A and B are shown apart, each in its own frame.
Chain A
Amino acid sequence: MAVTSLVHLTALDIAVIAIYFAMVMWIGFYLKKRANTSEEFFMAGREMTAWIAGLSFVSANLGSLELMGWAGSAYQYGILAAHWYWIGAIPAMLFLGMVMMPFYYVSKTHSVPGYLKMRFGQGSSTVAAFSFAFMTILMSGVNMFSMALVMKVVLGWDITFSIVISSLAVAAYVALGGLRSAIFNEVLQFVLIWGGALLVPILGLIEAHGWSGLKAQIIHNFPTQDYLHMWKGIGHFSDNPMGVHWTGIVFGLGFVISFGYWTTDFLVVQRVLAANSLRSARMAPIIGSFFKMAVPFIVILPGLLALVVLHNPDGSLMHLVGEDVVSANPGAGLHSYNEVLPLMLVRYCSPGLLGLGITALIAGFMSGMAGNVSAFAAVWTYDIYQPLINKKASDQHYVAIGRWATILGVVVSIGAAYMVMNAKGIMDYVQALFSFFIAPLLGAILMGMFWKRATKAGGFWGLLIGTVTSISLFLWVHFDPSALRYVAFSPDAKAMAENMYRALWCFSITVVVTFVVSLCGQARPVGELSGLVYGATKLPKEDPVPFYKNEWYWAAIAVVAFVGLNIIFW
């Protein structure tokens, strides 16, 4: 089973990892008794406090994308990668909490496609449900592959062995305890991720002589590259290593991709829908936004530190490369960008701490995978199986279907994981997926939630044509790279920039099609839109609370912190 590896774990490290798996299974078995009805299994009984829903909301997103992928991106592109945590998340999270959550929560929907069904009818819901099911399984595959990669690099474990072990654990605890088990484990994993990963930037900063020392060494080692500014170098596509322009960051990432993901991706919205009150549901994304702002400390900073502290055995500076280069040069001792975090863990962590760090990575991957699988089970059961296959079954039947869907989701994810192995880079792949499905969904949801005149046909055709446009633009550039000058407005744009502009295009087309088709049809009476549309809904009055418990107060503080961070790292 063992091939080459960065490190050999001691008995202490293995004990740390084993205890984590035991704890995860304990939680799953313990919560099985509280997952008997569909409301309990799919919505965790809608009993989560703001803190639990908020931490779970962020943790479900802390999968491979966040940990290994973005640490690798920070090594490649510098602090620009932090845009995906700040402008690419915070405004959208606050918008979800303060503006959109009341409609999701008051409508009592069990899913995002469920909201579309109430607003636009079965057609739109089915399009959204199938595209979500497809996307979420592929994302789950990305997670599995990333975890198997960590195991291969750090421990020398066979990729198939790692995939099977992690899949079995996730399938077991989600199938047993449903969403409640997934949420509890996500909160546990969130704490572990911080406990295991925080030591790397702390010790890294000590070794690099603080932030000033790190900056000086990066400038010395890479005098022609700007790794240290978030906004200064994005005035032109060719001025920065990522090949992005500020318009793409602000409108493509900061608006379409970010709002699409954080406000319409059921993977994260499901956690907030499980909150125990409207106030908790609004507070959860705000609590999550503070932690999201802090995540670059354990992800982006290690990537930057790796630029100066990682050295080859001969003392020369280590240069990480893409997965394709590593594959093309077996035996050359090369490491890929995605191996930044494991390399840093091995550098600083002694026995026990190394096990904790590896456990943090495993926890991150498992929370991402569990998030995908639990959301898939809900959408499959509520939005595909119930309306299209078996309309009138008992509640117990739907719970059983949810459990089987969890297992089916894991099995299909395994297939997706093997497909991902041949992808050039994890991040580019994930970003491409986002713009395929998330951007048109955002267009349809926003039109439905904030425009009373939007019709059933408008929502359906907007969503469908937007999705088809997105896939068509991708294929156009894939087969004719010169088309980049039209899709991304510049031949210098790179993959990430292309994804952002493609998202912008298909969002715009969804909105325009929804608008035009709606104007040609008859709108629903306003009375039917209560609880679904802004201006037609009377929100329940909330009890007054002291200012320090008020969601608007904390949202304002989050805005100030967000603006401050962007100015500091301008």
Chain B
Amino acid sequence: MASEGSTDISIWFFIGVLLTIYGAMILAYGIWELVTGNLANVVLANLHAPVWWGAIMLVLGIFYDVRFRPGKE
């Protein structure tokens, strides 16, 4: 899964950036929901999907950001 060699910024870095932003936003909302107890009106809201799904996206995003950051050999 090498980066796309001849481009300055790898596609995997773009993906990492997007996952990081989305993960942070969704995780932050999930934590707010958890802390305030103000759950959204959806089925299985008690499972707090925004917390764990946002966290997974954030971790994956940071991994890709670091692994494929511009300038890294």
* Contact B14 A352, beta carbon cutoff 8 Å: no
Shortest Cβ distance from residue A471 to the other chain B in the assembled complex, whole angstroms? 40
* Contact A203 B47, beta carbon cutoff 8 Å: yes
What 1/0 mask marks residues of chain A from 319 to 354 whose CB sits below 8 Å from any chain B CB?
000000000000000000000000000111111110
With an 8 A cutoff between CB atoms, is A20 at the interface? yes
With an 8 A cutoff between CB atoms, is B17 at the interface? yes
| A199-B49 in contact given A48-B4, A351-B29 (Cβ < 8 Å) | yes
With an 8 A cutoff between CB atoms, is A395 at the interface? no
| A12-B29 in contact given A27-B14, A191-B15 (Cβ < 8 Å) | yes
Using a CB-CB cutoff of 8 Å, which residues 5-29 of chain B contact chain A?
5-7, 9, 11, 14-15, 17-19, 21-22, 25-26, 29
For the complex, what is the distance from the CA of A497 to the CA of B21, rounded to whole Å? 46
Most chain-A CB neighbours within 10 Å: which of B4, B6, B7?
A: B4
With an 8 A cutoff between CB atoms, is B66 at the interface? no
What 1/0 mask marks residues of chain B from 47 to 70 whose CB sits below 8 Å from any chain A CB?
101100110010000000000000
Give the top 4 A-B pairs by smallest Cβ distance, nearest first.
A350-B40, A352-B26, A352-B29, A184-B11
With an 8 A cutoff between CB atoms, is B35 at the interface? no
* Contact B50 A348, beta carbon cutoff 8 Å: no
* Contact B15 A187, beta carbon cutoff 8 Å: yes
Using a CB-CB cutoff of 8 Å, which residues 155-184 of chain A contact chain B?
180, 184
Most chain-B CB neighbours within 10 Å: which of A16, A34, A199, A350?
A: A350
Using a CB-CB cutoff of 8 Å, which residues 1-25 of chain A contact chain B?
12, 15-16, 19-20, 23
* Contact A187 B11, beta carbon cutoff 8 Å: yes
**Which chain A residues border B26 with CB–CB below 8 Å?**
352-353, 356
Q: Which residue of B lies closest to A183 (CB)?
A: B11
**Which chain A residues border B40 with CB–CB below 8 Å?**
350-351
**Which chain A residues border B7 with CB–CB below 8 Å?**
31, 34, 180
Interface residues on A, range: 35 or more
**Which chain B residues border A27 with CB–CB below 8 Å?**
14
Shortest Cβ distance from residue A154 to the other chain B in the assembled complex, whole angstroms? 14
**Which chain A residues border B22 with CB–CB below 8 Å?**
16, 19, 195, 356
With an 8 A cutoff between CB atoms, is A192 at the interface? yes
With an 8 A cutoff between CB atoms, is A188 at the interface? yes
| A51-B29 in contact given A27-B14, A188-B15 (Cβ < 8 Å) | no
Other A-B contacts than A352-B29, A352-B50, A353-B50, 15 sampled, CB-CB below 8 A, are A19-B18, A23-B17, A26-B14, A47-B4, A49-B4, A51-B1, A52-B4, A52-B11, A188-B11, A191-B15, A191-B18, A203-B49, A348-B44, A350-B50, A351-B40
For the complex, what is the distance from the CA of A27 to the CA of B11, rounded to whole Å? 9
Q: Which residue of B lies closest to A190 (CB)?
A: B15
- Which of these, A48, A191, A206, contacts B47 with CB under 8 Å? A206
| A195-B19 in contact given A49-B4, A206-B44, A348-B42 (Cβ < 8 Å) | yes
With an 8 A cutoff between CB atoms, is A45 at the interface? yes
For the complex, what is the distance from the CA of A192 to the CA of B49, rounded to whole Å? 17
**Which chain A residues border B43 with CB–CB below 8 Å?**
203, 207, 309, 347-348
Shortest Cβ distance from residue B57 to the other chain A in the assembled complex, whole angstroms? 6
For the complex, what is the distance from the CA of A49 to the CA of B44, rounded to whole Å? 41
For the complex, what is the distance from the CA of A51 to the CA of B3, rounded to whole Å? 9
With an 8 A cutoff between CB atoms, is A569 at the interface? no
**Which chain A residues border B44 with CB–CB below 8 Å?**
203, 206-207, 348
**B interface: dominant SS:** helix
With an 8 A cutoff between CB atoms, is A553 at the interface? no
For the complex, what is the distance from the CA of A508 to the CA of B22, rounded to whole Å? 50
* Contact B11 A45, beta carbon cutoff 8 Å: no
**Which chain B residues border A191 with CB–CB below 8 Å?**
15, 18-19
* Contact A350 B49, beta carbon cutoff 8 Å: yes
Q: Which residue of A lies closest to B12 (CB)?
A: A187
- Which of these, B4, B19, B25, contacts A352 with CB under 8 Å? B25
For the complex, what is the distance from the CA of A487 to the CA of B15, rounded to whole Å? 48
Using a CB-CB cutoff of 8 Å, which residues 94-121 of chain A contact chain B?
none
For the complex, what is the distance from the CA of A203 to the CA of B47, rounded to whole Å? 9
For the complex, what is the distance from the CA of A459 to the CA of B14, rounded to whole Å? 44
Name 16 interchain pairs, CB-CB below 8 A, sorted by A: A12-B29, A45-B6, A47-B4, A47-B5, A51-B1, A184-B4, A184-B11, A192-B18, A203-B44, A203-B49, A350-B33, A351-B50, A352-B25, A352-B26, A352-B30, A353-B49
| A47-B15 in contact given A203-B44, A350-B42, A350-B50 (Cβ < 8 Å) | no
* Contact B45 A350, beta carbon cutoff 8 Å: yes
**Which chain A residues border B45 with CB–CB below 8 Å?**
350
For the complex, what is the distance from the CA of A51 to the CA of B68, rounded to whole Å? 15
With an 8 A cutoff between CB atoms, is A451 at the interface? no
**Which chain A residues border B1 with CB–CB below 8 Å?**
49, 51
* Contact A199 B47, beta carbon cutoff 8 Å: no
Shortest Cβ distance from residue B48 to the other chain A in the assembled complex, whole angstroms? 9
Shortest Cβ distance from residue B2 to the other chain A in the assembled complex, whole angstroms? 6
Q: Which residue of B lies closest to A26 (CB)?
A: B14
With an 8 A cutoff between CB atoms, is A30 at the interface? yes
For the complex, what is the distance from the CA of A48 to the CA of B43, rounded to whole Å? 42
| A49-B2 in contact given A207-B43, A350-B40, A350-B50 (Cβ < 8 Å) | yes
Shortest Cβ distance from residue A5 to the other chain B in the assembled complex, whole angstroms? 15
For the complex, what is the distance from the CA of A197 to the CA of B16, rounded to whole Å? 18
**Which chain A residues border B11 with CB–CB below 8 Å?**
52, 184, 187-188
Shortest Cβ distance from residue B61 to the other chain A in the assembled complex, whole angstroms? 10
**Which chain B residues border A346 with CB–CB below 8 Å?**
42
For the complex, what is the distance from the CA of A274 to the CA of B15, rounded to whole Å? 20
